[in-house]
Amino acid sequence: MAEALRVGIAGLGTVGASVARVLRDKADVLTRQCGRDIVVTAVSARDPKRDRGIDLSAAKWFDDPVKMAEKADIDVFVELIGGDEGPARLSVKAALEAGRHVVTANKALLAKHGVQLAEIAEKKGVLLNYEAAVAGGIPVIKTMREAMAGNAVTRVFGILNGTCNYVLTRMEAEGISFDACLKDAQRLGYAEADPTFDIEGHDTAHKLSILTSLAFGTKIAANDIYMEGISNITQADIRAAGDLGYRIKLLGVAQRTDSGIEQRVHPTMVPTASVIAQVHGVINAVAIETDILGELLLSGPGAGGNATASAVIGDIADIAKSRPGFQHAPVFGWPAKELKPYKRARMRSHAGGYFIRLTVHDRTGVFAAIAKRMADNDISLESIVQQAAGAETQAQKTVILVTHETTEAAVRKAVEGITKDGHLTDKPQVIRIERAE
């Protein structure tokens, strides 16, 4: 049997401790599958005394993950610290430069420095595997990078943040407000004490930027993403969506268009009957559309110790099975040096259907004025519905418009015009409609 694969794990928190535990519990199976043992020979975290629920005394302890990356007797450096700078970045870079394979779950690091790290990995002839960085346990990286060779991707979109999907699912199921739902999610441990990063779409954007690069062979452009979170979604939106045959999801979408690539993260209406609309709670899903395969949808657990560990261990097992001298798949599907610059399509040219909810004074002429602003901007309407705005006031009405395909620029201009007309009593709500099977 080949020599054991020696693994060093930096970061022994939720994911790191789970990886160590599964490697121990599944040692026999992994040995049979990989044709060699996988042994944890080095570990690093901040606190050497902390009980991590697993005996790691056989592994050499390092206070400094960079030193471990440079000096430990390891073949694979597994980075599970987190963060886009500091010890995570320095240790991954050091490990690659020392000619060691790297496995990481760190989307923030890859979104910011992925291309540079991929260049080092490819120059050194080592693997930089990161399956767990996007959609946790779902094997989307391997699917896009290896299983879909030759396919040209036209669009990739998904539910990439479990916290947002959990909040939207409960808002719809229980009719509770965003604030009440978020508070409960925090109490139950489904949302962080500071939920901004998840709720406002940053986490989804990091993951989307990696998928965009894989899909279109472009450099990662995490700062070039149109982003809106879910904090202004109300019960009125969710109810109106339901009445119209839609469900609201926070999607990350990357799409090739004539003017460049759209990368956008925002609340989206998807048809209630579509497959992605059936993805509830903390579950993640990624849909990939290509010229050869058509549409593929993967769904499953996007976070959590065991689910994430499953992806990390898959990456380690790939390294255990790789043969010396065998050409590795490029980190982002194309050689890092050949990734093209990202050409952003302007959001104003985005084409699609729109849901517009307006709260207006209940007086004559308002309906006609709204219809005129729409017509002036060449927006054709699929439906326009007028409702009482709520029992609390007789003085206002809600108008809900659903457009046929139009452009973002036209919708923004029409809504600006309606606002100027002085008929609105509240901020207008605009939600994009996404085509989904």
Ligand X SMILES: NC(=O)c1ccc[n+]([C@@H]2O[C@H](COP(=O)([O-])OP(=O)(O)OC[C@H]3O[C@@H](n4cnc5c(N)ncnc54)[C@H](OP(=O)(O)O)[C@@H]3O)[C@@H](O)[C@H]2O)c1
> 3-state class of 208 per DSSP?
helix
Contact status: 80 vs ligand X (CB under 6 A): yes
Contact status: 9 vs ligand X (CB under 6 A): no
Contact status: 139 vs ligand X (CB under 6 A): no
To the nearest whole angstrom, how small is the minimum distance from the Cβ of residue 301 to ligand X? Answer: 9
Contact status: 353 vs ligand X (CB under 6 A): no
Contact status: 281 vs ligand X (CB under 6 A): no
d(CA 432, CA 437): 16
Nearer to ligand X, 50 or 363 (CB): 50
Contact status: 185 vs ligand X (CB under 6 A): no
Candidates 93, 107, 112, 207; catalytic one:
207
Contact status: 163 vs ligand X (CB under 6 A): no
d(CA 242, CA 236): 10
Contact status: 138 vs ligand X (CB under 6 A): no
Contact status: 136 vs ligand X (CB under 6 A): yes
Where would I find the H helices in 354-436? Answer: 366-376, 408-421
CA angle 312, 314, 315 (to 5 degrees): 65
Integer-rounded Cα Rg, in Å, for the chain is: 24
Alpha carbon 415 to its chain centroid, in Å, reads: 30
Identify the residue among 129, 212, 213, 308 touching ligand X (CB under 6 A): 308
Site string for ligand X, 354-373 (x = CB under 6 A): --------------------
Contacts of 189 (CB under 8 A, 6+ apart): none
Could you confirm whether 207 is annotated as catalytic? yes
Choose the stretch contacting ligand X; rule: CB under 6 A; options: 79-87, 144-152, 351-359, 423-431. 79-87
Contact status: 194 vs ligand X (CB under 6 A): no
Choose the stretch contacting ligand X; rule: CB under 6 A; options: 101-109, 111-119, 235-243, 256-264. 101-109
Report the site for ligand X in 114-133 (rule: CB under 6 A).
Answer: 132
Nearer to ligand X, 89 or 155 (CB): 89
Choose the stretch contacting ligand X; rule: CB under 6 A; options: 74-82, 220-228, 367-375, 390-398. 74-82
| Residue owning tokens 């944890």 | 40
Contact status: 16 vs ligand X (CB under 6 A): yes
To the nearest whole angstrom, how small is the minimum distance from the Cβ of residue 203 to ligand X? Answer: 8
To the nearest whole angstrom, how small is the minimum distance from the Cβ of residue 71 to ligand X? Answer: 15
> 3-state class of 69 per DSSP?
helix
Q: Running DSSP on this structure, what letter comes out for residue 218? A: B
Contact status: 45 vs ligand X (CB under 6 A): yes
b/e 294-317 (16+ beta carbons within 10 angstroms → b): eebbbbbbbbbbebbbbbbbbbbb
Identify the residue among 87, 158, 229, 353 touching ligand X (CB under 6 A): 87
Rounded (to 5) percent helix, strand, coil in the chain: 40, 25, 35
Angle of the 305-321 helix axis to the 14-25 helix axis, nearest 10: 60
Closest CA to 186 of 205, 166, 172: 166
To the nearest whole angstrom, how small is the minimum distance from the Cβ of residue 265 to ligand X? Answer: 17
d(CA 421, CA 423): 6
CA angle 113, 115, 120 (to 5 degrees): 95
Contact status: 82 vs ligand X (CB under 6 A): yes
Query: CB of 7 within 8 A of CB of 40?
Result: yes
> 3-state class of 120 per DSSP?
helix
Contact status: 19 vs ligand X (CB under 6 A): no
Nearer to ligand X, 74 or 374 (CB): 74
Catalytic residues: 207
**Which chain residues interact with ligand X by CB under 6 A?**
10-16, 44-47, 50, 65, 80-82, 87, 105-107, 132, 136, 303-304, 308
